[in-house]
């Protein structure tokens, strides 16, 4: 008797759970605030996605990406939590926006193009060939982070649905930014901005170049607003602009496109055996 009651109870209590779990997963995939619960696809595709995540986290050291990196940053230095941060240059949902119009390139660009351009600017390095192992692995990983989300190609800019929210335009004050930097940032990024074991360089030779998104004051301010200080961003909009003005008042590598493009025959490669 007792065991039948228990069995019945089990059926009543537990039957809806798989259904509930299913709908929770479906919803969570659409919600950028949740970590992506999607399991990796089986086989070689899953392996390549995992490889892409590793490269995003260890870009300056990974043997596949190292030859194309010109500073001591990794993709995850700005695309926090390997791109899974909900707001700080989030990769979640990004694949749904491409191919997208790029006012900077004056072209419709693919997700692969966009990824490779970050190597030339934010990573101050060389553009890896289209279809190379490093390029395919990173874009496979970023695409996987859009699992379950509807395609919505962006006709205005190469940005996904969870891109860093813009702030109302303002002008930063370098002097006030200097004091704020000393108080809120120097403990990890060092007084001289060249970084420490607690934070990467924010200016100088080993930082992003002046063609990178973050070299624009408004972009850096909006990113700082949601990203820094690490794990506890609390700056006001004006403080974010002041610090951005101060950080970007320092020297960093100059971007000259020709220095970041490989020989023409290395621009792309046939993506098959």
Identify the residue among 202, 218, 226, 245 touching ligand HEC (CB under 6 A): 202
Are 89 and 164 in contact by the 8 Å Cβ rule? The answer is: yes
Token pair, residue 273, equals 């055996």
Residue 252 interacts with ligand HEC (CB under 6 A): yes or no: no
What's the helix, strand, coil split of the chain in %, to 5? 45, 5, 50
| Residue of the chain from 133, 229, 267, 268 that contacts ligand HEC (CB under 6 A) | 229
From candidates 142, 167, 218, 221, binder to ligand HEC by CB under 6 A: 142
Question: 170 is written with which tokens?
Answer: 């303002």
CA distances from 78 to 1, 51, 101, 226, 230 (A): 61, 19, 23, 11, 11
Q: How far is the CB of 161 from ligand HEC (least distance, A)?
A: 8
Q: Which stretch binds ligand HEC (CB under 6 A): 16-24, 25-33, 40-48, 195-203?
A: 195-203
Interacting residues of 165 by C-beta distance below 8 A, sequence separation 6+: 87, 222, 225, 226
207 binds ligand HEC, rule: CB under 6 A: yes
CB closer to ligand HEC, 29 vs 180? 180
Contact by Cβ (8 Å): 221, 88: no
- Residues lying near ligand HEC in the complex (CB under 6 A) are found at 59, 73, 75-80, 89, 94, 97, 114-115, 118-119, 122-123, 138, 142, 158-160, 163-164, 184-185, 187-189, 198-202, 207-208, 212-214, 219, 223-224, 228-230, 235, 243, 247
């Amino acid at each position: 008797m007792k065991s039948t009651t228990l069995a019945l109870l089990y059926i009543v209590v537990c039957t809806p759970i798989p259904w509930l779990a299913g709908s929770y997963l479906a919803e969570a995939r659409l919600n950028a605030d949740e970590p992506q619960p999607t399991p990796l696809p089986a086989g070689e595709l899953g392996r390549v996605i995992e490889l892409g995540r590793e490269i995003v986290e260890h870009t300056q050291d990974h043997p596949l990406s190292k030859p194309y990196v010109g500073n001591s940053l990794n993709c995850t230095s700005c695309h926090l939590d390997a791109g899974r941060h909900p707001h700080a240059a989030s990769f979640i949902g990004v694949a749904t926006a491409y191919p997208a119009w790029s006012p900077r390139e004056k072209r419709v660009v693919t997700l692969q193009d966009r990824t490779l351009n970050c190597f030339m600017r934010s990573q101050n390095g060389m553009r890896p060939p289209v279809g190379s192992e490093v390029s395919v692995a990173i874009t496979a990983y970023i695409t996987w982070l859009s699992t379950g989300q509807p395609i919505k190609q962006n006709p205005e800019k190469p940005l996904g649905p969870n891109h860093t929210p813009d702030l109302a335009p303002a002008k930063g004050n370098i002097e006030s930014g200097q004091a704020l930097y000393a108080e809120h940032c120097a403990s990890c990024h060092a007084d001289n901005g060249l970084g420490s074991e607690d934070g990467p360089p924010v200016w100088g030779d080993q930082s992003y170049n002046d063609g990178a998104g973050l070299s624009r004051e408004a972009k850096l301010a909006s990113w700082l607003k949601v990203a820094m200080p690490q794990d506890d961003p609390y700056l006001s909009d004006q403080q974010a602009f002041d610090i951005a003005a101060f950080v970007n008042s320092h020297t960093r590598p100059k971007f000259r496109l020709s220095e970041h493009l490989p020989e023409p025959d290395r621009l792309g490669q046939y993506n098959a055996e």
